[in-house]
Structure 1
């Protein structure tokens, strides 16, 4: 949709329903929090006009959202504070930034062909306009009486898994439910913070020339891709059929290389594929799912440039790198020596010089994004916005079980056939 017209009609801060105790006022960031870029992770939820059996006035709907958010902030108290210098969150109860807006169109005008660029208008700020805010929210009212709920969480305080846990706790409180597991804080004890002086890990983030497009892969296409890569094998090296994320990653990586990286320019560069991996279940002992923060790591693989379309050339390095995120790897992350930080500094320098080209995949598949029911039904669509990362793919399940892929690239838009 072109020229989406949205007018902000109110702005305020939503404070916790109860004051944060004095002993919780200083929330230390972990090492894994510190190395995250200073951006918001965005999610937009679309809700159609309420069903006939649900009768809420506009004021009642807004009050329910704000009151349940206030209750949620008492549980997730760092989200009501302010992030300070990648070191800690000052849990001062200043509150979450909350906007209300009106759109001069219908939900269907956007949903007939959701454009990631439109989604950014459904959030209060640009994704890199953080200014220490842990959480931003915008409720947008449409002419059809539908609404969107746009939420951004500061990546310095939470990963995608924690983000969805927060959203579903918030929606459960809105429905009046209390049967949920509260968050557990304290990842700074598991991954002690480091001295980050003079180092900012924001490589890959650019302000301009980012193009984003969404692609929907139905079950038949995904199955065909998985079979295609499973057939590309020999007797000695064949492994089991790739997962959906692995197969789609290989396919999109191939199209990225063919479209944007001519073979004659590849000889003096290192190409890497990055996958975000939740490490809660890869630790010893296994960490509870309701631990809050950034509790994931990046699996780095270097595919062969001989034939990037082949199973072994792409998928074996990807599988191996993900499998290497194991308890021993996590223990190394927990060490306070230079190890992982030194690697990040070196890689940052290589990327800034153009010596390393990275393509990043992150997946929210199997995350319960469609459980965000605030009392008027589940969303009919949930999606992301245009990120400020170049060379990024976000996988999200659709409501009917297909994979939605958001592709953000620099200058050249990949057309997936």
Structure 2
């Protein structure tokens, strides 16, 4: 089904109260400097089932009023980025708020949502603000049945995943009438002052020459993978912990990624492979930073380059051991070093490093949003039927999100088109999936 989303109105929402003069300039941090110049997307879909459908004018008015209030709390989001000075001018110019009409029912759309179509629910392209100043945008999309979607884009220059989930949750709490609102901590720049470093180069990873697909793994399938990779890790490391849900899915996807890239280039064309995992730094301070600390407060944990030869399971064991070691190194002493200007890439080197100039280095990045309370965003009409968030502008990335019930995991994989075609016909990749896109019971509307 081809989904058409037509924008019918656009306006600017400004904070309900002016930002005090002493908050006029929000300084970015050294981690913000290294963040990719794209938007973090979040789309929440709401259905009504047998409930009385509110008037769409009432829904929009309610959202705009609460949005103006939350922009007072998250005042940098209503400002403009000044790239040359690495700061946000908190001038209260406001954010674009769009309303749009969708040419189908929500229940029909959710039977088989296509990730690459979800950009239609965004107020602008996710990589469209390179060199621009807007920090946030919102789009309300109305389905024919009265269900609706709230699409939000927050600049990665200011916010990591934890930060934009925090914003959305706070906005929903204000809209729901909650009075005990937790205010964000805007002290990232004091913890990680600006450095004389090169900014992120988007040409290395941001690409439109890729497709994103969604795969759904049930709880029983994830448990089977945990057992499989737990057994394969025996003997690799003493006192090996049982793989987590994310570990097991990482192992499975990474092993099939290696196999399918070799099918394209041939088994005799050696590559160097690397796994990268994003790590939230907030709990790694001593004492831990508050979870409402705003900014890009994360670091990459990366395995050393691994040759493509050998057994995939044993290669995974080694790679995951290296990633875990890197994650374990990110303790309070490491964080203090980063604050003092230590190297921030998180890239360890091993005996293969000297061959980087002669072999292709391929990285598959993983990011997990599991355990984030994304389904707690109740704006006054109940929990969302479905939540979508994935870095659509990147290739060679797998993103994990809990299902609404919390027992399964949705995996979004972004790959170049040729490689994705291999994945979609890979019997070993498809066989374990108890439930795949389009097979689940449809959502109501």
TM-score (normalizing by structure 1):
0.92
Deviation at 1:330, TM superposition (A): 1.2
- Aligned alpha-carbon RMSD (Å): 2.2
Partner of 1:275: 277
C-alpha distance in 1 between matches for 2:134 and 2:228? 45
Instruction: State the Cα deviation string for residues 106-159 of structure 1 (Å, max 9, x = none).
Output: 112220011101111111111101222111111000101110111111111011
Query: Among residues 65, 72, 75, which one is paired with 1:74 in the alignment?
Result: 72
C-alpha distance in 2 between matches for 1:280 and 1:342? 16
Structure 1 segment 308-387 matched on structure 2, within 5 A: 308-310=312-314, 312-336=317-341, 339-340=343-344, 355-384=360-389, 387=392
C-alpha distance in 2 between matches for 1:51 and 1:136? 31
Deviation at 1:204, TM superposition (A): 4.0
C-alpha distance in 2 between matches for 1:343 and 1:399? 34
Structure 1 segment 183-222 matched on structure 2, within 5 A: 183-196=184-197, 199-222=199-222
Structure 1 segment 33-182 matched on structure 2, within 5 A: 33-49=32-48, 51-52=50-51, 56-85=54-83, 87-130=86-129, 131-182=132-183
Instruction: Judge conservation of contact 1:123–1:152 (CA < 8 Å) in 2.
Output: yes
Residues 385 and 104 of structure 1, relative CA distance in 2, 3 Å threshold: farther
Structure 1 segment 280-291 matched on structure 2, within 5 A: 280-291=282-293
C-alpha distance in 1 between matches for 2:357 and 2:126? 21
Deviation at 1:307, TM superposition (A): 2.2
Instruction: State the Cα deviation string for residues 46-98 of structure 1 (Å, max 9, x = none).
Output: 1113753x563211110110110110000000000111116011111111121
The total of aligned residue pairs comes to: 406
Which stretches in structure 1 are left out of the alignment for 5+ residues?
345-349
Deviation at 1:351, TM superposition (A): 9.5
Deviation at 1:209, TM superposition (A): 1.6
Instruction: Judge conservation of contact 1:272–1:358 (CA < 8 Å) in 2.
Output: yes
C-alpha distance in 2 between matches for 1:77 and 1:55? 32
Partner of 1:252: 253
C-alpha distance in 2 between matches for 1:123 and 1:234? 46
Instruction: Judge conservation of contact 1:120–1:385 (CA < 8 Å) in 2.
Output: no
| Secondary structure of the structure 1 residue equivalent to 2:268 | helix
C-alpha distance in 2 between matches for 1:32 and 1:159? 10
C-alpha distance in 1 between matches for 2:356 and 2:331? 26
Deviation at 1:329, TM superposition (A): 1.8
For the pair 1:263 / 2:284, whether they are aligned, the reply is: no
Instruction: Judge conservation of contact 1:14–1:69 (CA < 8 Å) in 2.
Output: yes
TM-score (normalizing by structure 2):
0.86
